Structures are given as structure tokens and as C-alpha cells.
Amino acid sequence: MRSRTDVVVFSTAAAVVGVHAVVDSFIAPEPGTTPADHALRAFATLAVLGVSVAVYPRLRAGGRAALAAAFGVLTIEGAVLATADAFSVGARGEDWTGFFLWLTGTVLLATAAVLLWRSRKPGRLRYLRRGAVGIGALLGAYWLLVPIGVAILATHRPRTDVDPAQLGRPVANVELRTRDGLNLAAWYVRPQNGAVIISYPTRQGKLAQARMLIRHGYGVLLVDARGYDGSEGDPNAFGWAGAKDIDAAVDWLEERPEVADGDIGGIGFSVGGEAMIQAAASSAGLRAIISEGAGTRSVRETLLYGWRGWLALPEAAVQTAAVAVLSGTRPPRSLTELTPLIAPRPLLLVYAGRGGGGEELTPEYFEAAGEPKMLWKIGEAKHVGGLQARPHEYENRIVGFFDDALLRKE
């Protein structure tokens, strides 16, 4: 662009993004949180924006185009998340500034395209040079842009409305209080056999499994994770603080007179399975644990892949660091460090042959765990799709596991 008007455009766009970050962190934080909870996220975002604005005019056209394109993509992601949240539960404070990100991101991407077009160079080596630039851009996106985009999505997950559920027996809406001061939404069905199973990380995600347990006399407590749907707090799709939510569920159930002798079990799905392992490792309140579809949640599990993990180390490290900054939460311990701490309580690890998200590492978690433990691979199932793949066997195995652990006492 002539007269370096792109510098003005980039600086203005950065200011718009900065305003959105301030509103998101300080003016309209998530329910149950305070501005202090988001100080690291806000200051880190503003620092990156400030450094970028200072560096941008000193870059060559290609560098300015790359920087504008990167911010353009992430800004469009923010606009998509704000729009999705508004459609799901209605526009809230930070959504309104998020709508302005549509125009901001589009302008940034257009600026990058114009800069690249005007800075193209002729010559016999132009295609080789452009190919090298393209490869560099792809590597930069893979190592930096994609991991940061995943972290933004994980820590700004849109909420959804939760419709009342029919579970075969009366369902009570209850509220749990975490030890760090958040209110969590949950559904509770009283037990007929004195035992209750906590289902995590959402109320409506696995209703078929809840109905299955209820048919066999179990009570169920289905919990929305912090930041999800009806619960307070900031979301984190990697569930780093999920163990605190499960601890709150255990605390609540231990006060219920209909729960016999603390007969409390837990079943977690995907990120909920990882959180269930973490909760059981640090608290004896869970008497039996099923984790289905546990995968990778930080760079610590990525390294379990051996040489492939080391190749993936750059993007995994960037993603873990970005999630830590945006969530204000420290990465949890590796699941291979946590599973041994569950023994001597029984643990059942379930994983799919056609799953994703790292659940192929489940045998590593199983190997690290102490007895008693069971491992079940459902080869034809998709991620957390065991019930759909083998309904009769799934019911027999899951219910049988809880029966042996919670009901058949010596």
C-alpha cells in the first residue's frame, strides 16, 4: 500500500482487538469470575499487540503481510466465537465488541493480500522464492498460528442452552459449589440401590449412558463443567481445572443421606475422562472410576509418543503455553503420573479404535496404573462412541464394573 497506509490500518485494527480483549477480561468477565482472574490473559494480549504495532513498520512488505494475515485469521476466529455465543444464548458484553472483529479481521486479511501482490518480485527464481516463502508460511502457521487458535477456542468455548432431559425418573436441578467459589449446574436423579455415579463434563452430552445407569438402580449426578453452559467460570476445553468440579460433586453427594456409605463412582468422557482420573488421583471420595476416551491435554502427554512426540513438540509447547496464559491455569500433571495414584480403587479405561485427540495413548495410561484395573478397546467405535458401537456389551461391562465395585461388598 502506498504511503504506508497499511501501518495505520494495522495499528487501528490492533486497537480494536485490544478493546475487545479489555472488555472480555475486565468489563464483561464470565459469571463467577473477577477481572483479577483474567489479568494474565489481558496483559499478555495487550503486550503482544503493543509489540506487534511497534515492530510492524520496521518489517519488509512480506513480514508485514504475514503479521497482518496472522492477526486477521485470529481476529476472524474471535468474531466467529462471539457470533456463535450470541446465537446460542444471546449476545452478552464481550460479544458486542466481538462483532466488530468481523470487519477488523477482513480488513487485515485484505491488507495482507495487497501487500503480497504489490511486493511480488520478477526474475528467473521468482517461483522458487515464492515456494520457499509458502513453505515458511505453512510451517509458521502449523507451529504458531494453529496452536494459538486452538488455545483461543479452548478458552472461549461458546455456551449453549440446555433443554430439560427425560431420564426415566424424576430429575432435580441442583447447584454445586466448588472450593474455589464457583456455582456449577447439575442434574440429580436419586439412587434406588444407594450408589450414585457422577457423569462429567456436561449435563446433556451423555444422556443415553445416564439412562442406562438409572435403569439399573443407580443415581446419577450430571455436571456442567466450569464455563460450560449453565455453570459459572471460564471454560477450558482441555479441562485443566475439571478435578475441582468433580470434587464439588463428591462433596455434595457425601452429604446426601440416600447415598449409602459413600458409594460414589465417576464416569468421564473425553476431557471428562481425563478430569475424572485427576480427581480420583487426589481424592479418595470416588470409589470406582471409568474414563472413556481420555487423550492428550498438554505437551506432557505429547511426549509419550516417542520420536513423533518430539517432532510435534514445537506446536504442542506453544499450544500448552497459550492455554496456560489464556486460562490463567497451570498445566496439570501427565496422566501417566496420575493413574498410579488411583489404586487400590478400581479403574476402567475405555478407548475407541477410531477415536482421536490422543486416546490411542490409553494403553500407556493403563500400563502406569496400579491394580485393580481394566482396559477395553472398542475397535470399531468412534471417539466416546462405545455405547453406540456395542450397546449390549457396553451396558454389561459398565454396569457390571460399578456393581462389582460399589454394590458387591464382602
Counting beta carbons within 10 angstroms of the beta carbon of residue 336, is it exposed (0 to 12), middle (13 to 18) or buried (19 or more)?
A: middle
Write down the residue that cell numbers 509489540 correspond to.
Answer: 51
User: Within 10 A of 395 (CB to CB), how many other CB atoms are there?
Assistant: 16
Question: What is the per-residue pLDDT for 1?
Answer: 47
Question: What is the per-residue pLDDT for 93?
Answer: 81
Residue type, 230: G
For the chain, counts of helices (H) and of strands (E):
16, 8
DSSP code for 231: S
Question: What is the per-residue pLDDT for 238?
Answer: 96
User: Within 10 A of 391 (CB to CB), how many other CB atoms are there?
Assistant: 12
Question: What is the per-residue pLDDT for 352?
Answer: 97
Decide: helix, strand or coil at residue 409: coil
For residue 378, list its beta bridge partners.
Answer: 352
Question: What is the per-residue pLDDT for 409?
Answer: 64
Instruction: List Cα–Cα distances, 136 to 44, 56, 142, 328, 386, in angstroms.
Output: 26, 19, 10, 31, 41
| Element spanning 219, H or E | strand 219-223
Q: How far is it, in rounded angstroms, from Cα 19 to Cα 21?
A: 5
Q: Which of 277, 282, 203 is nearest to 239 (CA)?
A: 277
Question: What is the per-residue pLDDT for 130?
Answer: 58
Q: How far is it, in rounded angstroms, from Cα 26 to Cα 294?
A: 34
Q: What is the pLDDT along the chain (410 residues), one digit of tens a residue?
A: 445 889 999 999 999 999 999 999 999 999 999 999 999 999 999 999 999 999 999 998 888 889 999 999 999 999 999 999 999 888 888 899 999 999 999 999 999 999 888 876 665 556 566 566 667 667 777 788 999 999 999 999 999 889 889 999 999 999 999 999 999 999 999 999 999 999 999 999 899 999 999 999 999 999 999 999 999 999 999 999 999 999 999 999 999 999 988 899 999 999 999 999 999 999 899 999 999 999 999 999 999 999 888 988 999 999 999 999 999 999 999 999 999 999 999 999 999 999 888 999 999 999 999 999 999 999 999 999 999 999 999 999 999 999 999 997 65
Strands 219-223 and 196-200: parallel
Instruction: Kindly list the domain boundaries of the chain, sorted by start residue.
Output: 2-120, 172-297+332-407
- CATH number for the segment(s) 172-297+332-407: 3.40.50.1820
Question: What is the per-residue pLDDT for 133?
Answer: 62
pTM: 0.93
Write down the residue that cell numbers 485484505 correspond to.
Answer: 110
Question: What is the per-residue pLDDT for 406?
Answer: 96
Please state the φ and ψ torsions of residue 348, each to the nearest 5 degrees: -120, 120
Q: Which of 119, 21, 35 is nearest to 74 (CA)?
A: 21
